[in-house]
């Protein structure tokens, strides 16, 4: 929903959140708008030539201050400001304020970890205008030697930071914009019928030993639910009992937002086995039942080794539930609902 009104501080305070994000455009400065997020947080936005630039939170800027920033961007004249800030000060205040109100806890945690471990040690003490292309290349190349995927993620965050610095007129251009990320092969692995049978036999064998090892039984049930529901690992591991209904899961906070996952009889049987107990979580931590199970599923490494599928990730298991729904698909075994051996690597 988008509408127009003359923005005032009192009007912005009166805007109520909806089920979806919406924007109110200013009639006095048409390129200025305020976005209202479902969480209730608000932010000022500059609209120009099909692009949007976040100006900051409504909690930290008045309407008049937002108009000044917006007009400065429109005329390409930098607003009046003091010295160029240090990288660490800019990321702690201006950049953080531009996105923190619309991000999930996992996103905040990941960005802060990237800053603390990589970006602040490399650039924190430098003024933004002293960061050069050569410095970015040197940092990126060194990090890429040990963690090419992590280097790509942190490079993306560094670009976002420096793009915001350009929008705030602290620097004229982004020195990280021409740094090419590491090439990463896209991974998607499907199980063949034979591989799936070996996996189930291995799970059954470990399941017979599980009564003596409660934590092992938890991990087996999680792996089976990944196969049966198509959910991501954290969506199952952190599943709350209040999100479980008779024939579906209502995930309140999945990676893509709230969504519904329908359950078959096998998945329902596993959940019914787990639904009792005092914890709010279906898979509580053995040490602290008030929290979900934490850490990696260590049993998965042993199971995939015994089943002869060491190149299969936990994330790959969720593809199986999708294929089960379309058994007439070419290359899919109608009896098991999985790809034939010749298509396993496709």
Residue-by-residue pLDDT tens, the chain, 346 positions? 568 889 999 999 998 888 888 899 998 888 899 999 888 889 999 887 666 788 888 988 899 998 988 888 776 545 545 789 999 999 999 999 999 888 888 889 889 999 999 999 999 999 999 999 999 999 999 999 999 989 999 999 999 999 999 888 899 889 998 899 998 776 677 888 898 899 999 999 888 876 667 778 889 999 999 999 989 888 899 899 999 988 889 988 777 778 899 999 999 999 998 888 889 999 998 888 888 888 778 889 999 999 998 888 888 888 776 545 444 444 444 333 333 333 333 3
DSSP H or E segment with residue 106: helix 105-114
The answer to whether residue 218 sits within a structural domain is yes
Same domain flag for 293 and 253: yes
| pLDDT at res. 124 | 96
Q: Where are the alpha helices (DSSP H) in 168-292?
A: 193-209, 214-229, 233-237, 265-274
The answer to whether residue 204 sits within a structural domain is yes
Which of 74, 106, 137 delimits the end of a domain? 74
The answer to whether residue 330 sits within a structural domain is no
| pLDDT at res. 295 | 74
Same domain flag for 143 and 249: no
Same domain flag for 26 and 128: no
Same domain flag for 204 and 299: yes
**Rounded Cα distance, 307 and 173, in Å:** 52
Contact 3, 14 (CB under 8 A): no
User: Which is nearest to 182 in space by CA: 159, 153, 139, 158?
Assistant: 153
Instruction: Report pLDDT digits (tens) over 127-170.
Output: 999 999 999 999 999 999 999 989 999 999 999 999 999 888 89
DSSP H or E segment with residue 144: helix 133-144
Contact 231, 225 (CB under 8 A): yes
Q: How far apart are the first and last CA of the chain?
A: 42
| pLDDT at res. 281 | 92
The answer to whether residue 103 sits within a structural domain is yes
Same domain flag for 44 and 91: no
Task: Please give the residue range of the domain that contains residue 286.
Answer: 196-315
Contact 143, 185 (CB under 8 A): no
Render the burial of 104-122: b for 16+ CB within 10 Å, e for the rest. Answer: eeeeeeebeebbeebbbeb
The answer to whether residue 324 sits within a structural domain is no
Same domain flag for 301 and 219: yes
CATH number at residue 265: 1.10.443.10
Same domain flag for 220 and 135: no
| pLDDT at res. 107 | 86
Write the DSSP assignment of 281-326 as a string of letters: BSSB-SS-TTSB--S--HHHHHHHHHHT-TT--GGGGHHHHHHHT-
Which of 74, 98, 116 delimits the end of a domain? 74
Same domain flag for 214 and 281: yes
Two structure tokens written together for 104: 């999930």
Same domain flag for 200 and 96: no
Count of the separate structural domains present in the chain: 3
| pLDDT at res. 326 | 41
């Amino acid at each position: 929903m988008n509408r127009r009104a003359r923005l005032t501080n009192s009007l912005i305070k009166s805007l109520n959140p909806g089920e979806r994000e919406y924007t109110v455009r200013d009639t006095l400065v048409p390129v200025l708008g305020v976005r209202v997020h479902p969480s209730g947080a608000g932010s000022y936005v500059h609209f120009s030539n099909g692009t949007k630039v976040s100006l900051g939170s409504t909690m930290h800027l008045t309407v008049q201050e937002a108009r000044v920033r917006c007009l400065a961007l429109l005329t390409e004249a930098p607003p009046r400001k003091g010295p160029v800030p240090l990288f660490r000060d800019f990321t702690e205040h201006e950049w953080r304020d531009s996105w923190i109100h619309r991000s999930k806890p996992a996103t905040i945690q990941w960005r802060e970890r990237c800053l603390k471990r990589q970006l602040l040690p490399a650039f924190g003490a430098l003024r933004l205008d002293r960061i050069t292309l050569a410095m970015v290349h040197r940092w990126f190349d060194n990090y890429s030697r040990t963690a090419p995927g992590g280097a790509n993620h942190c490079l993306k965050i560094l670009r976002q930071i420096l793009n915001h610095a350009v929008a705030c007129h602290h620097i004229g251009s982004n020195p990280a914009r021409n740094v090419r990320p590491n090439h990463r092969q896209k991974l998607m692995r499907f199980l063949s019928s034979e591989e799936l049978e070996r996996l189930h036999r291995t799970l059954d064998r470990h399941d017979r030993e599980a009564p003596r090892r409660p934590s092992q039984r938890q991990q087996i049930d999680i792996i089976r639910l990944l196969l049966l529901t198509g959910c991501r690992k954290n969506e199952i591991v952190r599943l709350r009992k209040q999100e479980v209904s008779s024939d579906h899961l209502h995930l309140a906070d999945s990676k893509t937002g709230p969504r519904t996952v329908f359950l078959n009889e096998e998945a329902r049987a596993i959940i019914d086995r787990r639904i009792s107990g005092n914890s709010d979580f279906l898979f509580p931590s053995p040490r602290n039942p008030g929290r979900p199970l934490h850490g990696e599923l260590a049993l998965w490494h042993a199971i995939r080794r015994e089943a002869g599928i060491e190149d299969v990730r936990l994330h790959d298991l969720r593809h199986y539930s999708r294929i089960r729904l379309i058994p007439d698909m070419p290359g899919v075994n109608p009896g098991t609902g999985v790809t034939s051996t010749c298509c396993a690597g496709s």
